[in-house]
Structure 1
């Protein structure tokens, strides 16, 4: 397969299969999916997911936003949401892929904002021993059904991302990040601070001292979606979190998110998720793992 000959870059919300993530993360072996596709994964991007790959043996080639990078045993691959990526692994390559929901990334960025820039950069870097250990623990916990599994996975996810951020910082070039990349990062930080106030694109553009048109163009180039979609997506992530992890009524959630009309919130959520808030809540409840005995 020649990646340059592929005309369509597919966007996936969740592992190319479904839209919503009942767990805080998903973890699988590299071979589990790659072997089904002759060890080649065509160019695609994830709109709501951050991926971390660790190669323990084997290698191959990665294409990250059009840049060709050799893969090697011990390589860490950081793939933020929205970035186009493709892989060609050598046969029988071993390792893991951890896929983290954007809801989890939001929580981490709120608490530890200084890792945002490092985690937002797609790159391949040598993985420190601690990252190997953290990924192994994630895999072991994800594969089981022990008591407090979700709580442990949440903690391990933060640990894993912390080591990824350190590896990205150590591997970072000395020059400053591209201005457009910095603009998107500042936009995302502002969205995190003001999404409940229902700021519009013009409000964010004013705060960033750029035009709305320029802001949307840069956002689309960096993430694959418009600035307006980034704003809407953050609200919808908060809605999904409330529906999945609280017992608040739909109307209460709507008011909490700044919607004056619960019916409008229901329509907006249904348009985004493809099912109503109540149906989404039922789906998450049905997919939750049974508690350990």
Structure 2
């Protein structure tokens, strides 16, 4: 599977860890120029890091969710939540679009699992709490059954990933990838801070939960703000502070994530999908999709169809 790694990384991303935003690069598996290379992607930490002196500069994956597990070694992670020390049995969660960078000690061993966000959305459709947990970048030390279980699952996933052209390979990968996702999400949820925190954090969490319920309702910023009991200005300030994006773009991103899932996994027409997501005008839906995803809805569907 060596060829598929090209879609995930590129030597041009390498800058010093902690690079300024002007040098942050964005990479994706599909949409703009590349179709899905596989149902998911799994590789060792060493395979990529040792090629670049064990440092991966600031970058983001616009349509990938990543989970890293260090089995041995140490390092540092620069996530949007801050810089974090990494050690033996550390699990790192990187949501879609989050900027991140790494520096590992030579010889660090572990794995990286990358999941297309359409697959993530499908697998978490009935798991709202797990979806919210995985939406936040984090690095946590694993102990006991979590460490043992995830090491076993990652080992099995990595072995299965290297077996090309065997019957049932995609089903095995999906099953193991989903198991990793579920157990990692449970570990992250148990390690998260107690309910509470700052008022801004509560507003953001409530907005995220509301967005999951109302993203297809064509609500405007003022509608979300009213439902949350805050002003549109305050909601926008909280969203920009936490994500760097205005509320309108966060809403568009969620709607387009659902659009990509429907384009990939259903036969509904582009117009029907747009209407389902609250767009009365198909042309408007196509414009928003193209702006957000880098290609038209039909081009995206064609890129996915090439793999089936």
| TM-score (ref. length: structure 2) | 0.80
Structure 2 residue 287 is matched with structure 1 residue 273: no
* SS of residue matched to 2:130: helix
- Which runs of 5 or more residues in structure 2 are unaligned? 1-14
**How far has the Cα of 1:19 moved from its partner?**
7.4
Structure 2 residue 161 is matched with structure 1 residue 142: yes
Residue of structure 1 aligned with 2:73, choices 58, 61, 64: 58
User: Could you list the per-position Cα deviations for residues 151-191 of structure 1 after superposition, in whole angstroms to 9, with x for gaps in the alignment?
Assistant: 44343333212221232244334574444333222212211
CA distance 1:227–1:13, change in 2 (3 Å): farther
> Which shifted more, 174-183 or 187-196?
174-183
**Contact (CA 8 Å) 2:70, 2:89: kept in 1 or not?**
yes
Structure 2 residue 45 is matched with structure 1 residue 30: yes
User: Could you list the per-position Cα deviations for residues 83-132 of structure 1 after superposition, in whole angstroms to 9, with x for gaps in the alignment?
Assistant: 44321101122211112233334345441222245332512322521111
**Contact (CA 8 Å) 1:69, 1:124: kept in 2 or not?**
no
CA distance 1:200–1:172, change in 2 (3 Å): same
Structure 2 residue 125 is matched with structure 1 residue 125: no
Residue of structure 2 aligned with 1:233, choices 225, 238, 253: 253
User: Could you list the per-position Cα deviations for residues 220-267 of structure 1 after superposition, in whole angstroms to 9, with x for gaps in the alignment?
Assistant: 222232211111011111221122122222222222222222222222
**Contact (CA 8 Å) 2:31, 2:293: kept in 1 or not?**
no
**Contact (CA 8 Å) 2:25, 2:60: kept in 1 or not?**
yes
Query: Equivalences for 1:149-188 in 2 at 5 Å?
Result: 149-173=169-193, 176-188=196-208
CA distance 1:17–1:154, change in 2 (3 Å): same
* SS of residue matched to 2:215: helix
Give the aligned partner of residue 22 of structure 2. Answer: 8
CA distance 1:123–1:104, change in 2 (3 Å): same
**How far has the Cα of 1:278 moved from its partner?**
1.7
**How far has the Cα of 1:39 moved from its partner?**
0.7
- Which runs of 5 or more residues in structure 1 are unaligned? none
Structure 2 residue 230 is matched with structure 1 residue 204: no
Give the aligned partner of residue 195 of structure 1. Answer: 215
Structure 2 residue 130 is matched with structure 1 residue 115: yes
* SS of residue matched to 2:230: coil
Query: Equivalences for 1:68-107 in 2 at 5 Å?
Result: 68-107=83-122
Q: How many pairs align?
A: 288
Partner Cα distance (1:17, 1:194) in 2: 25
**Contact (CA 8 Å) 1:243, 1:277: kept in 2 or not?**
yes
**Contact (CA 8 Å) 2:81, 2:138: kept in 1 or not?**
no
**Contact (CA 8 Å) 1:236, 1:269: kept in 2 or not?**
yes
**Contact (CA 8 Å) 2:76, 2:104: kept in 1 or not?**
yes
**Contact (CA 8 Å) 2:17, 2:102: kept in 1 or not?**
no
